[in-house]
Amino acid sequence: MTTEHAGPKPLLVLGKITDILDAFTLQRPVLSLSEIQHATGIPASTVQRLVSNMVAEGLLDRVGDRVRIGVRMAYWAGAAARGVDLLELAGPVLRELRDTTGETTALFRAENGFRVCVAVAETRHALRREMHVGKIIPLHTGSAGRVLLAWDPTLAEEVLAGPLETLTDHTVTDPERLRALITATRRDGFAITAAERDDGGSGLSAPVFDHAGAVTAALTISGPTIRLTRQRCEQYVELLVGAADRLTRTLGGRPPA
């Protein structure tokens, strides 16, 4: 007959703390105690006690009567992110998204006033949108550009101040309209576009953040509009945003303040 020892009990506490931290997402960066309890299933009294201690230790910060991930966590995230290869980490995420949706998935970064494809998992369909690593696309077109501009106001102003080249009949070339679309993207947390850079193509993108809360990349699903309709794009939003959130967490990233 064996008896239970008291030793492992602290690990149970660590598990609960991890569950509380995992309750916060890029879409829900600030939570009330009741929201944490609902997300974790931990008893309310335990949530209250653990949250109080986590605030005292800087793991969480108070925002009125709610809490968010503590700023102190950014220091640890910064150390963890050193040496982490974004492209190496993105590969499995891109392939999982590609296999789930059947469409091409890609990662874009802003470079010298353009967006550049830095990683891609191509669809297995014969009918596809052309995409390859190193492809350079104007920042003012497409969902990935919209996302990169939405969380980088300085870059957005530079792009809005310059000439906006017309690529298709649906390319947004009016600065004020583009500004409004950028604002809407930041509010929504994602962007969906169609035929802005090439006729017959659609895409949806979500942001990936680094340890400082700055946008580091746009995660994208793209394909022919005949297959990737607006309705289908909307069905994939939760999947895409969740994948971008996971990639952000893997990088030790956090949502912007």
Each residue's pLDDT tens digit, 184-237: 999 999 999 999 999 999 999 999 998 888 999 999 999 999 999 999 999 999
Q: Of the residues 51, 70, 89, which one is the last residue of a structural domain?
A: 70
Answer yes or no: is pLDDT of 84 > 60. Answer: no
pLDDT value at position 82?
53
User: Residue 81 — pLDDT band, cuts 50, 70, 90?
Assistant: low
The answer to which of 30-44, 58-72, 169-183, 218-232 has the lowest mean pLDDT is 58-72
pTM for this structure? Answer: 0.71
Residue range 141-150: average pLDDT? Answer: 98
**% of the chain surpassing 70 pLDDT:** 90
Answer yes or no: is pLDDT of 105 > 90. Answer: yes
Give the total number of structural domains in the chain. 2
Q: Of the residues 70, 93, 117, which one is the last residue of a structural domain?
A: 70
pLDDT value at position 220?
98
Cα–Cα distance measured from residue 105 to residue 121, given in angstroms and rounded to the nearest whole number: 5
Q: Which domain covers residue 14, as residue numbers?
A: 9-70
For residues 57 and 88, membership in a common domain is answered with no
For residues 92 and 61, membership in a common domain is answered with no
Cα–Cα distance measured from residue 25 to residue 236, given in angstroms and rounded to the nearest whole number: 18
pLDDT value at position 6?
47
Answer yes or no: is pLDDT of 80 > 70. Answer: no
Strands of the 215-224 sheet, one edge to the other: 136-138, 114-121, 104-111, 215-224, 201-209, 191-194
Residue range 160-183: average pLDDT? Answer: 96
pLDDT value at position 28?
80
For residues 42 and 119, membership in a common domain is answered with no
pLDDT value at position 89?
84
Cα–Cα distance measured from residue 237 to residue 232, given in angstroms and rounded to the nearest whole number: 9
pLDDT value at position 1?
41
Answer yes or no: is pLDDT of 3 > 50. Answer: no
For residues 36 and 88, membership in a common domain is answered with no
Residue range 72-99: average pLDDT? Answer: 75
CA distance from start to end of the chain: 54
pLDDT value at position 203?
97
Cα–Cα distance measured from residue 186 to residue 79, given in angstroms and rounded to the nearest whole number: 28
Residue range 73-87: average pLDDT? Answer: 62
Cα–Cα distance measured from residue 106 to residue 115, given in angstroms and rounded to the nearest whole number: 12
Answer yes or no: is pLDDT of 4 > 70. Answer: no
For residues 152 and 187, membership in a common domain is answered with yes
pLDDT value at position 254?
82
pLDDT value at position 115?
95
What long-range pairs does 27-33 form, CB within 8 A, spacing at least 24?
A: 27/189, 27/241, 27/245, 29/68, 29/69, 29/255, 30/63, 30/66, 30/67, 30/68, 31/66, 31/67, 31/68, 32/65, 32/66, 32/67, 33/66, 33/67
For residues 109 and 22, membership in a common domain is answered with no
For residues 65 and 88, membership in a common domain is answered with no
pLDDT value at position 160?
97
For residues 138 and 244, membership in a common domain is answered with yes
